[in-house]
Structure 1
Amino acid sequence: MKFLKPAFLILILAFVVGVVTTFALYFYMKPDLPSVDMLKDVRLQTPMRVYTQDGKLISQFGVKRRIPLTIEDVPQDLINAVLATEDSRFYQHPGVDPIGMARAVVNLILTGEKGQGGSTLTMQLARGFFLTRDKTYVRKIKEIFIAWHMEQLLTKQEILELYLNKVELGHRSFGFGAAAQVYYGKTVNELTLAQMATIAGLPQAPSVLNPISRPERSKARRRVVLLRMLDEKYITQAQFDEAVNAPITAKKHGAEIEFSAPYLADLIWNEMVELYGKEEAETGGYQVYATVPSSTQLAAQKAIQRNLHDYDERHGYRGPEQQLWIPKDLPATSDDDKEIEVTSAISNEPWEEERMLSFLEDYKTYETMRPAIVVKVNEKDITVFTRKGRYSVIDWDGLDWARKYITDTRQGNKPETASDILTEGALILIRQREDDKHWQLTQYPDASSAFIALNPHNGAAQAVIGGYSFYQSQFNRATQAKRQVGSNIKPFIYSSALANGFTLASIINDAPINQWERGTGNAWRPENSPPEYDGPIRLRVALGKSKNVVSVRLVRAVGLEKVRQHLTRFGFDLSEIPNDETVSLGSGSHTPLEVATALSVIANGGFLIEPHFVERIEDDYGKVLWKANPVQACDPCGDAQKQETVEDTTTDTMDIEAMLAAELNAEPFAQNDDNGSSTNDTPEPIRSAPRVLDEDNAFLVAEMMRTAVKTNGNWNKKTYWQGTGWRASNLLQRADIAGKTGTTNDSKDTWFSGFTNDLVATVWVGFDDMSRSLGRASRNQNLVNKNPQKFNFIGNAMIGGEDGAKAAEPAWIRFMQRALDGVPEKKRPMPTDLVTTRIDRASGKLTQHTDHTSMFEYFMPGTAPTSYVSDSEFVDPADENDEQSKPLEDIF
């Protein structure tokens, strides 16, 4: 007994000292412990995910891969696997497990090593959020205190949910949602028991236990996890036997991209970085929904790629990518190009399959093109070896387009046999045609292109394509490339004429201009393209035929400065509008986005909308943080007051870049912002876009643009004429489309811009090298024979010089064919104050004739002609014996 009392006192003393020491340590370390607020509002670093308007994932930005899960999302088998392996007493301890700690202390005393830390899930979570992985006593004590603290603030389910989303699991995956996707390409609910056990074993050492880098060690670790589950009676023996013998099936998967739209995703990523900063944007867990539906984006992508291939193929084949070996039976030839290919060959002997397969696996290609090696050349076909290790035959239908490219304006003779095109050992590119799934020889298009489509009523982007392939060039030509717009500027020039007294029936002299420039000592001679002149011509017909000299005369009649000021109404920056008469021919440079925005003013009846690409932003659990509330093309909009026409926008022109920056001008998680956006469920009031153009003016310009995309008049009565974009109406068979071609000098830039009531789209085609012309294409009889119904209409068989109708319009038509499929025709109604009057087709005056020499025309109030065509002026084009009236004098 005499020893018990001292021992008891010593124990009490030790306990008191321990408690005092613990409290002392707690208060000493308290300043370094995380705050209550931090623990209550833990934000996981989750990558930004960008979706199409209809919810298809198009990109993920951020180094850390994480797919947040709620505890309800996690299958019970996975929870059991984690608890059995990492913390079987999770629901019994208060954040620190005394049994586990005691085991760690005993191990330390016996071995002298800090091997078993006795960490609970809560302690691991505390370390993961707030501490390092260093094995020090101070870190362990902090870990204990934080774990206790967390257990007081959070429920067990909240702690478990945080752990399942936070823990690092290798290959940049954080949390079990990401691990399931990275290792198996599945959601957690799709995993098998063996797969769940595999990833449940990763937290201990993800770098050395993961099934990709260390499959054998991962399998051994999986067995340990399954044994623990069996011991805890979470699984049966039969389940254990099946899972432990399952093969390792893991392989690395990228983000589960559902739809490829990299130009759109990059555009949105740049906006998010500008708003929130790179780190916050990439780790804040934002889910960004674009305004672009996947259907219209896909239509644009296919249209642009097909159009560039068509252009490239009608200009000839530039030869194989590389000559890998010298063919055995190389025919004697003086062809310098073939000699160069052979002398640059890698080998003198044909390659074995293994070498070809290894080479093709490493060869980088873009989009739908695939590399292949020619192993046999027959008279009308070739046999190729593909990346899949297979032999395929490319028949003559896939080869006959490939006459030799000489220059952008010259092509060689049509090929007669396959040997005229290729030799054995050639590395080539092949692609599968969309229309008939036929494989054919192809090459990377040399030319570039851009496409933008907008909803003209609210500016929501419907498609954006910045080039042939984002992975070939990340430069977004749709929003960044300022190129000369050519005749695409004419609708806006004609709008200024209508605002200054002209009508659709006004007569202008389509005759050559020869103006001496005193300053340069040269004569300025703007020409029509083609150089044909019709003499006196109505305004409607002049725009439809895209008469250059008429556009010049209109600028002179209205006044250069007035025209420039008028163009700013459509959003063009005054500083970028040429201060000379070349503005009439489109010498100014603008982006496709700027052109589409300007065209929206005509399509929507006179309102300047703000283009935007983001519909809403959500957090990683789907809570809406920000929603766009763009201005609407309406007058008035709900309770909004009617807007007055903007008379002078000189000092308030639209800055596209500023507008894009303003699109998301909210602070992170802001409830409201200056742009009228809100996270509330309460609908925001509709905001009216500023009216910048009179409704009558917009309607009349749209009417002229409808004339420009169809055939007009009567062939038999000799009143027939074609608008420069006539192919659009012929192929689309719709009366509600309007458009305008555009071609610059030497065809360095070609455009087609057009719209329906609810969709505006602009296409640009040209070379990135601004000094290079799109050239001309000579007749390729092989293509004519293949598609006689399409010859000189749309597609490969076009001949002659490239222009907006040939190089750009086909892409617009193909896009609209898809985008408008099933959409009923819908024309904007005629403004109530416009009048229609029957006029004479030749003179634009009133007429009493009701035959082919007359037509009804639209006029603003008070602008209709007041005099009738006289007998001396009257011309019947159908009467070959009629003397043609003399051209009217130049009214300017």
Structure 2
Amino acid sequence: MVRRDMVALYGDKADTDGYRVYTTLKADFQTSANAATQKGLVDYDRRHGYRGEEAKLDYPLEEVPLTDLVAELKRFRTIGPLQPALITEVSDESAKALLKSGETVSLTLEGMQWARRYIDNVDRGPEPKKVSDVVEVGQIVRIIQEKDEWTLAQKPQAQSGMVSFNPNNGALLALVGGFDFQSSKFNRAVQGGRQAGSSFKPFIYSAALDKGMTPATVINDAPVVFEDSSLESTWRPENSGGRFYGPTRLRQALYKSRNLVSIRVLRQIGVRHTIQYAEKFGFDPAKLPNNLSLALGSAALTPWEIASAYSVLANGGYKLEPWYIERIENNDGDTLFEANPMVICDDACEQQRAEEQAREAQLAAESAADESDELAFSDLLAQEATQPEAAADTEDNTEEKPIRYAERVQDERINFLITSMMQDVIKRGTGVKARALNRSDLAGKTGTTNDQKDAWFSGFNRDVVATVWVGFDQPRNLGRGEYGGTAALPIWIDYMLTALQSSPQVSPKIPDGITTVRIDPETGKRAKPGQPNAIFEYFREENVPAQEVEDDMVNPHGESGNIPEQLF
């Protein structure tokens, strides 16, 4: 991307004139992102079986000089961390493999236990009992070094894209476009676009909160059939697994990723309102379908677009411009370009900004008054010509870049509520594996598209946002059990192990106008005094439930009883 921008700026000279480009990418973050993506794809590939050798030499190896065997191996390029290797010896317990370096390494049965024969993305053959069940002498295979041991691997067929931003200034921290750039230069982080699945739901729920719903609003998770002229046929959406769960609070629906609730929410608040609301986060409205399939993330989006939108959630509700070129210098060290990123104006700088705006208004008024003065513009130029120092000062001042304040696009209280709901995705929902990071400040959302063709995870704390996509370039089913929390989340976790090291845990500040109320967990209404199963929930002050749960809805054991059958 950087080279593309340099060529756009300087043409063919971008490669020959000695320009130095400084980017916002962090070396340790980028290294971690590459390694996490490659590991995640290798692990995914292993879960679905072994497709066999890459090639086979059909002549006796003992009759061929070692140098010729090495030369044969060198025809096979190293792909990411995957080395080509020639199997030279095989027994029941181990095998010998020749590397391009001429070194011979050992492979054990333990490192091949995963290599059940690939049948399809759902089925595999039996577990191998001995090494000779998997490899033969003369085969050229792929191996990878893991924990100082070499193990069998293969080039993954699935691909991935990852984007990570600093949500406080929009700086790009890391970007991965695929498993190996030399094998495929298609940048899946920014090119193309795949259905976002449930990773889009936070923006639908934010729009619902904006319309007056609350985390405790109860929506019926029940079957529904749509006859929609904008859809090709009758639509019978389902939850993952095909089950329906009845009345569900919005908070639960988000962290359990209930599709039917999202559809009913979208139908109630309106598709048009939701698209207009999502546009504030940087989404192109032309890419968002103008029908209820939007609730399931049917829009084709890139990891870049999703990570940029999640940055708004992470920074408290401000829309920033993503950027990655910090400075450009020529061969003499002169600065040709220096970025001027947007600044988030929180409570601490609001007064300062108001004062600056007042000064700007005053200067504008004075400028308007000056236009009526008798002093001719030629006289002003002559005056500057006789005062070169003052003219130089004026020139310097014009080069100072004005502060660019980011626009608040999400209400502070709505931002707090949706972030709290997304934290539950990790605490008790589909992103629970992220608890392995042992942090309390993380929020996120899994995403899995129809027929499990795309897996997503997007998550953040106040300092780092990252989005991961996993899928095939030609969309097809990822296989049994391959959801966002299975295929994409482990990559996100491995990256965040590095990215969060310098980010202290900070509890979010509860904004003014947010209050906590004890509610009945089944109805979302205010709990009765002493109700044993009551839970706490956050509300905007104007949306606090006024009505207490009725007596016949709470039995003596604290369990909710009769729930209205039709809820939205």
Gaps of 5+ in 1: 1-266, 327-346, 645-677, 712-722, 777-800
Q: Distance in 1 between matches of 2:128 and 2:396?
A: 63
1:627 partner letter = E
2:477 partner letter = S
Deviation digits for residues 452-485 of structure 1 (CA, Å, limit 9, x no counterpart): 0001111100100000011110111101121100
Which residue of structure 1 lines up, in the alignment, with residue 413 of structure 2?
A: 696
Q: Distance in 2 between matches of 1:519 and 1:541?
A: 30
Deviation digits for residues 93-121 of structure 1 (CA, Å, limit 9, x no counterpart): xxxxxxxxxxxxxxxxxxxxxxxxxxxxx
Secondary structure of the 2:467 match is: strand
Q: Distance in 1 between matches of 2:356 and 2:420?
A: 24
1:861 to 541, 550, 553: 541
1:309 partner letter = V
2:515 partner letter = V
Report the more deviating stretch, 807-816 or 358-367.
Answer: 358-367
Deviation for aligned residue 1:635: 3.9
Which residue of structure 1 lines up, in the alignment, with residue 565 of structure 2?
A: 889
CA contact (8 A) 1:710 1:726 kept: yes
Residue 519 and residue 568 in structure 1: after superposition, are their counterparts in 2 closer, same or farther (change >3 A)?
A: closer
2:31 partner letter = L
Residue 628 and residue 822 in structure 1: after superposition, are their counterparts in 2 closer, same or farther (change >3 A)?
A: closer
Q: Distance in 1 between matches of 2:120 and 2:232?
A: 34
Which residue of structure 2 lines up, in the alignment, with residue 774 of structure 1?
A: 478
Q: Distance in 1 between matches of 2:288 and 2:74?
A: 50
Deviation for aligned residue 1:733: 1.1
Pairing 1:811–2:516 present? no
Which residue of structure 2 lines up, in the alignment, with residue 659 of structure 1?
A: none
Deviation for aligned residue 1:684: 4.0
Deviation digits for residues 106-144 of structure 1 (CA, Å, limit 9, x no counterpart): xxxxxxxxxxxxxxxxxxxxxxxxxxxxxxxxxxxxxxx
CA contact (8 A) 2:105 2:150 kept: no
1:280 to 13, 17, 22: 13
1:85-484 equivalences under 5 Å are 267-277=1-11, 279-325=12-58, 351-433=64-146, 436-484=147-195
Report the more deviating stretch, 619-628 or 697-706.
Answer: 619-628
2:33 partner letter = A
Residue 612 and residue 642 in structure 1: after superposition, are their counterparts in 2 closer, same or farther (change >3 A)?
A: farther
Pairing 1:761–2:459 present? no
Q: Distance in 2 between matches of 1:561 and 1:840?
A: 32
Q: Distance in 2 between matches of 1:400 and 1:681?
A: 67
Deviation for aligned residue 1:689: 0.9
Q: Distance in 2 between matches of 1:394 and 1:284?
A: 49
Q: Distance in 1 between matches of 2:221 and 2:546?
A: 23
Q: Distance in 2 between matches of 1:521 and 1:568?
A: 26
Q: Distance in 2 between matches of 1:680 and 1:421?
A: 71
Which residue of structure 1 lines up, in the alignment, with residue 388 of structure 2?
A: none
CA contact (8 A) 2:247 2:567 kept: no
1:535 to 236, 246, 249: 246
Secondary structure of the 2:426 match is: coil
1:793-804 equivalences under 5 Å are 801-804=481-484
- Relative to the length of structure 2, the TM-score reads 0.89
Which residue of structure 2 lines up, in the alignment, with residue 97 of structure 1?
A: none
Secondary structure of the 1:288 match is: strand
Residue 480 and residue 534 in structure 1: after superposition, are their counterparts in 2 closer, same or farther (change >3 A)?
A: same
1:736 partner letter = D
* Identical aligned residues as a percent: 42
Residue 414 and residue 371 in structure 1: after superposition, are their counterparts in 2 closer, same or farther (change >3 A)?
A: same
1:803 partner letter = Y
Secondary structure of the 2:490 match is: helix
CA contact (8 A) 1:308 1:449 kept: yes
Deviation for aligned residue 1:864: 0.5
Deviation for aligned residue 1:387: 1.5
Deviation for aligned residue 1:886: 3.5
CA contact (8 A) 2:230 2:291 kept: no
Q: Distance in 2 between matches of 1:305 and 1:495?
A: 34
Which residue of structure 1 lines up, in the alignment, with residue 223 of structure 2?
A: 512
1:447-596 equivalences under 5 Å are 447-517=158-228, 522-596=233-307
Q: Distance in 1 between matches of 2:106 and 2:474?
A: 36
CA contact (8 A) 1:381 1:399 kept: no
CA contact (8 A) 1:308 1:448 kept: yes
2:20 partner letter = Q
CA contact (8 A) 1:640 1:687 kept: no
CA contact (8 A) 2:553 2:563 kept: no
- Relative to the length of structure 1, the TM-score reads 0.57
Deviation for aligned residue 1:682: 8.6
Deviation for aligned residue 1:742: 0.3
Deviation for aligned residue 1:634: 2.2
Deviation for aligned residue 1:643: 13
Deviation digits for residues 142-180 of structure 1 (CA, Å, limit 9, x no counterpart): xxxxxxxxxxxxxxxxxxxxxxxxxxxxxxxxxxxxxxx
Q: Distance in 2 between matches of 1:814 and 1:411?
A: 27
Deviation for aligned residue 1:348: 9.0
Which residue of structure 2 lines up, in the alignment, with residue 178 of structure 1?
A: none
Q: Distance in 1 between matches of 2:547 and 2:75?
A: 76
Deviation for aligned residue 1:851: 6.8
Secondary structure of the 2:552 match is: coil
Which residue of structure 1 lines up, in the alignment, with residue 422 of structure 2?
A: 705
Q: Distance in 1 between matches of 2:77 and 2:356?
A: 55
Residue 371 and residue 348 in structure 1: after superposition, are their counterparts in 2 closer, same or farther (change >3 A)?
A: closer
Residue 870 and residue 562 in structure 1: after superposition, are their counterparts in 2 closer, same or farther (change >3 A)?
A: same
2:433 partner letter = R
CA contact (8 A) 2:61 2:88 kept: no
Q: Distance in 1 between matches of 2:155 and 2:54?
A: 10
Q: Distance in 2 between matches of 1:684 and 1:850?
A: 60
Deviation for aligned residue 1:625: 2.5
2:318 partner letter = F
2:37 partner letter = I
Q: Distance in 2 between matches of 1:384 and 1:525?
A: 53
Residue 889 and residue 699 in structure 1: after superposition, are their counterparts in 2 closer, same or farther (change >3 A)?
A: same
Which residue of structure 1 lines up, in the alignment, with residue 369 of structure 2?
A: none
Deviation for aligned residue 1:530: 2.2
Deviation for aligned residue 1:533: 2.0
* Number of aligned positions between the proteins: 529
Q: Distance in 2 between matches of 1:643 and 1:315?
A: 60
CA contact (8 A) 1:635 1:642 kept: no
Gaps of 5+ in 2: 358-394
Deviation for aligned residue 1:449: 0.1
Deviation for aligned residue 1:388: 1.8
Residue 852 and residue 297 in structure 1: after superposition, are their counterparts in 2 closer, same or farther (change >3 A)?
A: farther
1:727 partner letter = K
2:434 to 696, 716, 728: 728
CA contact (8 A) 1:746 1:775 kept: no
Secondary structure of the 1:631 match is: coil
1:470 partner letter = F
Deviation digits for residues 701-746 of structure 1 (CA, Å, limit 9, x no counterpart): 11110011112xxxxxxxxxxx0111112x0111100000000011
Q: Which has the larger radius of gyration?
A: 1
Secondary structure of the 1:640 match is: helix
CA contact (8 A) 2:117 2:124 kept: yes
Q: Distance in 2 between matches of 1:427 and 1:852?
A: 65
Which residue of structure 2 lines up, in the alignment, with residue 752 of structure 1?
A: 457
1:591-606 equivalences under 5 Å are 591-606=302-317
1:863 partner letter = N
Secondary structure of the 2:439 match is: coil
Which residue of structure 2 lines up, in the alignment, with residue 664 of structure 1?
A: none
Q: Distance in 2 between matches of 1:519 and 1:270?
A: 39
